[in-house]
């Protein structure tokens, strides 16, 4: 018995203790981003993102920092009102007097009744698990917000070893494999919001959360569906949700707003493509030089049968960065090549119907509000009157501050 017990229990116990200088991830406490949403005096625009016109106000995201509020009662003379400081803001949407915005991982709702004194009224903590700003990733990790920052630190590690001087490889530090900044040049920040009727859809890394807009104070999702992938495009149109992923565009039927149903996958779309949808036509702009590859072109698909989108035709472009449709007018930002306006009434001859071409506006993004067209260009925000699309009339230009 002694022998058996001895053989069973006699184990060499060898532990190796190492002091190792390691790159230790730095996690910022969530408190750094909370309690700092407030109205500040108006300031210059440096790095604009999304633009929304709501009533007489123009809202312009300052990427990662907040939202500029501009009195646009007279589009020929927009007057900056205030700057809503929202740390880590990339996308937002407005419903009545409530503005919904992302703040890194949090979703917040703001009462904008008094634009000079905006108040935070609701917050959903850590709804979004990761995102990026101009190619720099952030994520909810290590118990806080992680911005891919590391510091050198001496770590003590203790491991059991084999007692025989054989070198056991230290546990390798796991660096998360993320897309490089170059891979994200097509999108400054992930799109988060889309509103349909009284519901707001907000996408995170793996879920599409659905919020009831009747309750902006208690920001709890009333429903959610699984996405499984980060999305690079997000829009809704006529009870359909279009979610652009890395290699395809997923189409959901949201006739029942609380339970969107996956309908089809549109695999002719990549993460780099820009998508506009109207009148059952999907306008998809692709630019070369991005990580997704491809040519500078505009492709049209008939999506009247969303289960089986049908390719119509493609047209060569100069390098489209964004597009928007106000049927039958299509606006395309061609970056340094300018800004183009097409009549798309006849999908077979779009290239023959270039209505207007503003070569001097280096257009990067375009937003439509009625007959007003807002362009974020390289040097400023242009407001154009598109009542006559053949003769765009410049209303005003808000110049950017050179950083």
| Residues from 171 through 230 that contact another protein (CB under 8 A) | 171-172
Query: In whole angstroms, how close is the CB of 164 to another protein at the nearest point?
Result: 5
What does the alpha-carbon distance between residue 339 and residue 253 come to, in Å, rounded to a whole number? 33
Q: Which is nearer to another protein, 114 or 153 (CB)?
A: 153
Task: Provide the b/e sequence for 376-389 (b: ≥16 CB within 10 Å).
Answer: bbeebbbbbbbeeb
Q: Which is nearer to another protein, 2 or 316 (CB)?
A: 2
Cα R_g (the chain), whole angstroms: 25
Candidate residues 77, 117, 125, 160; the one interacting with another protein per rule CB under 8 A? 160
Stretch that binds another protein, among 16-24, 87-95, 175-183, 388-396 (CB under 8 A): 16-24
CB count within 10 Å of CB 145 equals 23
- Determine contact, residues 191/233, Cβ cutoff 8 Å: yes
- Determine contact, residues 108/37, Cβ cutoff 8 Å: yes
**DSSP-based three-state secondary structure for 260:** coil
Query: In whole angstroms, how close is the CB of 70 to another protein at the nearest point?
Result: 52
List of residues 6+ apart from 165 with CB closer than 8 A: none
Candidate residues 1, 10, 226, 316; the one interacting with another protein per rule CB under 8 A? 10
Binding-residue total with another protein (CB under 8 A): 32
Task: Work out whether 2 is an interface residue with another protein (CB under 8 A).
Answer: yes
Candidate residues 31, 35, 154, 307; the one interacting with another protein per rule CB under 8 A? 154
Query: In whole angstroms, how close is the CB of 177 to another protein at the nearest point?
Result: 16
Q: Which is nearer to another protein, 15 or 31 (CB)?
A: 15
Strand intervals (E) in 267-358: 274-278, 281-286, 297-302, 310-316, 322-326, 329-333, 339-343, 354-358
Q: Which is nearer to another protein, 1 or 316 (CB)?
A: 1
Question: Could you tell me the maximum CA-CA distance found in the chain, to the nearest angstrom?
Answer: 101
What is the side-by-side strand order in the sheet with 274-278? Answer: 274-278, 281-286, 297-302, 310-316
- For residue 50, the Cα-to-chain-centroid distance in whole angstroms is 9
Task: Work out whether 18 is an interface residue with another protein (CB under 8 A).
Answer: yes
Task: Work out whether 151 is an interface residue with another protein (CB under 8 A).
Answer: no
Q: Which is nearer to another protein, 151 or 402 (CB)?
A: 151
Candidate residues 27, 42, 161, 213; the one interacting with another protein per rule CB under 8 A? 161
- Determine contact, residues 110/121, Cβ cutoff 8 Å: yes
Cα distances (angstroms) measured from residue 344 to each of 221, 279, 294, 297? 39, 11, 23, 15
Task: Work out whether 22 is an interface residue with another protein (CB under 8 A).
Answer: yes
Task: Work out whether 162 is an interface residue with another protein (CB under 8 A).
Answer: yes
Candidate residues 1, 12, 31, 182; the one interacting with another protein per rule CB under 8 A? 12
Q: Which residues bind to another protein, rule: CB under 8 A?
A: 2-3, 6-7, 9-22, 154, 159-165, 167-172
């Amino acid at each position: 018995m002694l022998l058996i017990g001895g053989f069973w229990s006699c184990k060499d116990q060898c532990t190796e203790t190492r002091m190792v200088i390691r790159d230790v991830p730095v996690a910022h406490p969530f408190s750094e981003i909370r309690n700092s949403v407030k109205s500040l005096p108006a300031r210059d625009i440096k790095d604009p993102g999304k633009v929304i016109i709501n009533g007489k106000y123009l809202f312009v995201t300052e990427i990662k920092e907040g939202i500029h509020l501009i009195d646009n009662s007279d589009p020929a003379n927009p007057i900056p009102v205030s700057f809503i400081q929202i740390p880590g803001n990339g996308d937002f949407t407005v419903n009545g007097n409530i503005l919904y915005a992302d703040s890194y991982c949090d979703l917040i709702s703001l009462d904008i009744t008094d634009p000079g004194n905006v108040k935070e009224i609701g917050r959903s903590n850590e709804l979004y698990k990761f995102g990026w700003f101009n190619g720099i990733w952030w994520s909810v990790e290590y118990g806080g917000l992680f911005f891919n920052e590391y510091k050198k630190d001496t770590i003590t590690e203790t491991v059991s070893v084999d007692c025989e001087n054989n070198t056991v490889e230290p546990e390798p530090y796991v660096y998360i494999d993320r897309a490089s900044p170059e891979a994200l040049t097509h999108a400054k920040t992930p799109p988060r919001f889309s509103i349909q009727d009284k519901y707001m859809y907000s996408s995170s890394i793996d879920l599409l959360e659905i919020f009831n807009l009747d309750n902006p104070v208690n920001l709890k999702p009333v429903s959610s569906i699984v996405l499984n992938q980060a999305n690079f495009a997000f829009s809704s149109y006529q009870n359909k949700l279009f979610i652009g992923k890395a290699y395809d565009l997923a189409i959901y039927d949201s006739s029942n707003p609380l339970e969107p149903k996956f309908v089809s996958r549109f695999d002719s779309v990549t993460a780099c493509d820009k998508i506009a949808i109207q009148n059952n036509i999907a306008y998809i702009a692709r630019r070369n030089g991005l990580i997704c590859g491809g040519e500078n072109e505009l492709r049209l698909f008939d999506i009247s049968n969303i289960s089986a989108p049908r390719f119509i035709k493609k047209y060569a472009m100069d390098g489209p960065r964004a597009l928007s449709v106000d049927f039958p007018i299509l606006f395309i930002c061609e970056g340094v090549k300018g800004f183009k306006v097409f009549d798309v009434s006849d999908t077979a001859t779009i290239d023959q119907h270039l209505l207007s071409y503003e070569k001097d506006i280096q257009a990067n993004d375009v937003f439509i509000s009625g007959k007003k067209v807002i362009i974020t260009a390289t040097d400023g925000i242009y407001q154009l009157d598109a009542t006559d699309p053949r003769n765009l009339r410049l209303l005003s230009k808000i110049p950017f501050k050179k950083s």
